[in-house]
Structure 1
Amino acid sequence: MDAREIHLKRRPVGMPVADDFAMVVNSLPELAEGEVQVRNLWMAVDPAMRGRMSDAKSYVPPFALDAPMEGPAVGTVVASRDPGFAPGDIVSSRLGWREAFNAPASALRLRPDTGLPPQAYLGFAGVTGLTAYAGLLKIAALRPGDVVFVSGAAGGVGSIVCQIARLKGHKVIAAAGGAQKTAYLRDTLGVDAVIDYKAEPNLTRALAREVKAIGATGIDVYFENVGGEHLQAALALANPFARFAICGMISQYNVTDAPTVPRNLTLVMVKSIRMEGFIALNHMDIEPHFLADVTAWHKAGLLTATETVHEGIDHALDAFFGLFSGADLGRMLVKLG
């Protein structure tokens, strides 16, 4: 079987461009004992992939040059030489950015028939959903009466954070960029207040305005996806003993100069704020509880799956670049099969 895959050709400086990548056709060999052949149905792109394109030390190794990149994917088993997998099985893996592949069975997770669509395991029922769930309920330790501020609120993680906070009865202030995203947050997700950061000359003043509008004195939980001015505003409006769950800082990923904000970081000390960075893979112990909850919420109509879909591996880079231009609404996916 021939399968196309996208390789990293050189390490980007600043915003990645198409010439940093190459499309390669790979002929899959015969399966070895213990291997499984998978045709990917869906893959997802996320901002954290930008970090792996550099060779800076991080919690995961960098992408190798002249080799296919990695990322979340869900596919169907075509052939198997492992007793744990059979043709037709739905599996998830970290072997995205390719149409098909051979891999050891240990690289795959069998997905039982829960009635969810396969791509749900790349969104609310996968690591994206677990990131929102763990960050809000475990890292930020959501408490009764908390006011929650979410940046990047219309993205894959942020939109799930907003929904979990709302279904648990909390007031939510959501920040996103552009009229489409703010309308989605207000009209579809029903958050209490929305900030279009692209239309605001001063994000701190905008957050103060919305805090007052919902009858609050400040924010108790901040779910961080963006960094920069958003983090500065959250620090300024935080109540004493607020908790910040630091999931990502997409505004900083392509910065080549030294960051200039936040300029009020001393408020962490003054307000006794607890700020904790986290990654979902460190919280797999709660996955069974998470999966049971989100499946039940989805079936009850309390959790909406929002996706931006690109068709074909030819458009996988368009999907990735769209994360940084604001073209994503919900989870950014590429349909491969």
Structure 2
Amino acid sequence: MTRHEEPSYFPDFVPGSVITGMGVCKVIDSGHPEFKAGDLVLGLTGWEEYTLITEAESLIRINHQEVPLSYYTGLLGMPGLTAYAGFYEICSPKTGEYVFISAASGAVGQIVGQFAKLMGCYVVGSAGSDNKVNLLKNKLGFDDAFNYKKEKDLKMALKRCFPEGIDIYFENVGGAMLDAVLRNMRLRGRISACGTISQYNDDDDKDDGKKRSDGVHNLFCITGRRIRMEGFMTYDYISSYRKFEEMVVQLLKEGKITYVEDIAEGLENAPAAFVGLFEGRNVGKQLVSCCKRVSPSSLIE
């Protein structure tokens, strides 16, 4: 079985059907006892102006309308809960630890970095442009950051940023970055395996003469340094959502956390915004505002 034949946690897209994604919606009509017209909800919806949702149990009612509704697709939505679960639940951080985050300016990475700073950790992130590096250091409070596209040797870049090694790595990239991190991890370090975006579009079975991404060669470090690496799915932690929501809303009210969004206007711009994710064009959480007729807004990620 090849990588692309392996089952995914989402069903395969069927050509001609509606694309789905997490969104913030306003209920127009409801036959479900727990939801009524006018409610604002977060959940899986279609890339369309109106969606019929038959599995209402997957929806979460929005409790805090005093914060920007768009945050419920990012900071207070799946990316936020992903950051919360991957950092606190998987990595069990301690004050003063050394934390590295790849794809650090993205929807999840920027939240993990701020959680780590609030814990009193030393935090470094990598990103794919100087603009994103400046964002990490000057707006999001990272201690340091680097543009991985400008580094000839990722292992040496990490050694420069972490002369004493890395305690926690929040993994969003995979491939060469993971390989470099493994050589720089400290004894009993923890790796939260959230994603491997550098490898999502690889096809090892395609014979077109193009070089595929390098494999990971330094897995021996996991044994010698007693590193714990754990993958996770956000929905495994859905029972923690309300606890997470209240914590983050309080941090927002106290001005202790911020969030960067990149919003494309109009449903017709959703395909270009989606493709831009794989080219690194977005700065922060990529959203599409798709229905101006529903107040205050309807957004999809």
Give the alignment's TM-score, normalised by structure 2.
0.89
Query: 1:59, CA displacement in angstroms?
Result: 2.6
Q: Deviations over 1:136-185 (max 9, x none)?
A: 01101112221000000000000000011011111001100111100000
Partner residue, 2:198 = 251
Distance in 2 (alpha carbons) for counterparts of 1:130 and 1:221: 18
Query: 1:259, CA displacement in angstroms?
Result: 4.0
Gaps of 5+ in 2: 205-211, 292-301
Distance in 2 (alpha carbons) for counterparts of 1:98 and 1:153: 30
Partner residue, 2:233 = 279
1:241 and 1:316, CA in 2 relative to 1: closer, same or farther beyond 3 A? same
Superposed, 1:175-254 pairs within 5 Å as: 175-212=126-163, 217-254=164-201
Partner residue, 2:66 = 115
Asked if 2 retains the 8 angstrom alpha-carbon contact of 1:148 and 1:170, the reply is yes
Distance in 2 (alpha carbons) for counterparts of 1:138 and 1:109: 21
Query: 1:292, CA displacement in angstroms?
Result: 1.1
Distance in 1 (alpha carbons) for counterparts of 2:89 and 2:151: 32
Partner residue, 1:74 = 24
Matched position secondary structure for 1:201: coil
Distance in 1 (alpha carbons) for counterparts of 2:148 and 2:265: 30
Percent of paired sites with the same residue: 38
Asked if 2 retains the 8 angstrom alpha-carbon contact of 1:154 and 1:184, the reply is yes
84, 93, 109: which is aligned to 1:133? 84
Distance in 2 (alpha carbons) for counterparts of 1:103 and 1:232: 42
Q: Deviations over 1:198-236 (max 9, x none)?
A: 111111111111113xxxx10000000011111011101
Equivalent residue pairs, number? 281
Partner residue, 1:26 = none
Query: 1:66, CA displacement in angstroms?
Result: 2.1
Asked if 2 retains the 8 angstrom alpha-carbon contact of 1:63 and 1:70, the reply is no
Query: 1:65, CA displacement in angstroms?
Result: 3.0
Which stretch shifts more, 237-246 or 89-98? 89-98
Query: 1:114, CA displacement in angstroms?
Result: 4.3
Distance in 2 (alpha carbons) for counterparts of 1:167 and 1:95: 33
Matched position secondary structure for 2:162: helix
Gaps of 5+ in 1: 1-50
Distance in 1 (alpha carbons) for counterparts of 2:278 and 2:162: 28
Distance in 2 (alpha carbons) for counterparts of 1:219 and 1:122: 30
Q: CA RMSD in A?
A: 1.6
Asked if 2 retains the 8 angstrom alpha-carbon contact of 1:147 and 1:220, the reply is yes
Which stretch shifts more, 108-117 or 135-144? 108-117
Asked if 2 retains the 8 angstrom alpha-carbon contact of 1:55 and 1:62, the reply is no
Greater strand proportion: 1
Q: Deviations over 1:211-266 (max 9, x none)?
A: 13xxxx10000000011111011101100110000000000001123542322111
Query: 1:314, CA displacement in angstroms?
Result: 0.6
Partner residue, 1:90 = 40
Matched position secondary structure for 1:79: coil
